[in-house]
Structure 1
Amino acid sequence: MPTPNPAALDFLQTRRSRPAKTLCAPVPDRATLEMLLTTAARTPDHGKLEPWRFIVLGKGAMPRLAKIAEERGQALDLEAEQIAKGRAQFDQGHLAVAVIEVQRPSPKIPALEQTYSAGAVCLALLNAALAAGWGANWLSGWPSHDRGFMQAALGLEDHERIAGLIHIGTETSAPPERPRPDISTITEWVET
């Protein structure tokens, strides 16, 4: 018979991201953040490839990133509203961790599985931050998918991309619960 961990199960059943725009200082110090990153790095990494890495974005980096997002939005001829939204997470951010997917050549591990692993790291970091008592939110947005932003803002190579930006800070207000999926409508049971 398995040994349950009721506290962990309760956390997973009730966890809730905190909107990034509601997060403020203080943010985790370096030692705390290293613990959270170490926790996130326990994610299954498909053949020990470690198809991801972290870039910690402190408050001082946010104005530069916001400016690059705005410049890239203008270069892409995006609507003003899109540009404003793209730069807002950096204008409002105090600390974020860019989880970088690193595609590694492998005859055994398909690229898609490496992408899954990078996404799992994002969720693991989000949950680690929430479990440690911080507010946290996993964001992306058009800058995260724009190769020009990735290169100019973070110096990413062609085999790298942003899997997610995990904003971490002190929550200022708890969000209300939101509707969750009806498991009965999205689950199929195959017995034979």
Structure 2
Amino acid sequence: MPNPRPEALDFLLTRRSRPAKTLTAPWPARADLGPLLEAAARTPDHGKLEPWRFIVLEEAALQRLAALVESRGVALGLEAEAIEKARRQYADAGLVVAVVESPKASEKIPAIEQTYSAGAVCLALLNAALAAGWGANWLSGWASHDRAFVAEGLGLAAHERIAGMIHIGTETNAPPERPRPDLAAITQWVDA
């Protein structure tokens, strides 16, 4: 017999990311962030490989990364608008958790399952932050996929990549609800 947790289901049915640009101080302190990271680390992980890790970026690190985004964007020949948008993602933030996909060699666990687990960590961290009352948003962007940026700015090894940048802070306003998927259009029932 199921043991329902209607408050948890209600949260999941009504959860809504908060745009990163609307988040402000106060930012979660380390003591606030610990339980959120712990919740995220409880993500399904076939083989218990822990094919992910966290890098917590605080204000000084985010300013350093904003400058690196600018120089990398110029080096890559990107348009000024794309560079500025990516730069602001770091410069205007106060706390970001980089979820790093760090796959492990395994004969039993396919690499794709490790990628899925890293993505699940992003969603678990996002939901934990929202459930704790913070505003949060899961972003990526061109810089997080630029090998030179992640190696120089975040110290990622050659086999690692960013699964997501989770921005966490105090929300300044709740965004309006947005259209949700049509379940009938994306669900197939198979009974035989």
Q: How does the TM-score come out when normalised to structure 2?
A: 0.99
Residue aligning to 2:16: 16
Residue aligning to 2:25: 25
Deviation, 1:104, is 0.7
Residue aligning to 1:138: 138
Residue aligning to 2:104: 104
Deviation, 1:160, is 0.7
Deviation, 1:78, is 0.7
3-state DSSP of counterpart to 1:156: coil
Could you tell me how far apart the structure 1 residues matched to 2:51 and 2:175 are?
33
Identity of aligned residues (%): 71
In structure 1, the gaps of 5 or more residues are none
Aligned length: 192
Which amino acid is 1:79 matched to?
E
Deviation, 1:142, is 0.4
Deviation, 1:32, is 1.2
3-state DSSP of counterpart to 1:191: coil
Residue aligning to 1:148: 148
Deviation, 1:103, is 1.2
Deviation, 1:77, is 0.7
Could you tell me how far apart the structure 1 residues matched to 2:146 and 2:60 are?
22
Which amino acid is 2:166 matched to?
I
Could you tell me how far apart the structure 2 residues matched to 1:72 and 1:46 are?
36
Could you tell me how far apart the structure 1 residues matched to 2:13 and 2:124 are?
15
Residue aligning to 2:80: 80
Q: How does the TM-score come out when normalised to structure 1?
A: 0.99
Residue aligning to 1:50: 50
Which amino acid is 1:185 matched to?
A
Residue aligning to 2:71: 71
* CA shift digits 1:1-44 (9 cap, x unpaired): 21110000000000000000000000111111011100100001
3-state DSSP of counterpart to 1:152: helix
In structure 2, the gaps of 5 or more residues are none
Deviation, 1:46, is 1.3
Could you tell me how far apart the structure 2 residues matched to 1:103 and 1:51 are?
5
Could you tell me how far apart the structure 1 residues matched to 2:186 and 2:20 are?
29
Answering whether residue 173 of structure 2 is matched by residue 173 of structure 1, we say yes
* CA shift digits 1:35-56 (9 cap, x unpaired): 1100100001110000000000
Could you tell me how far apart the structure 1 residues matched to 2:29 and 2:93 are?
15
Residue aligning to 2:5: 5
CA-atom RMSD in angstroms: 0.6
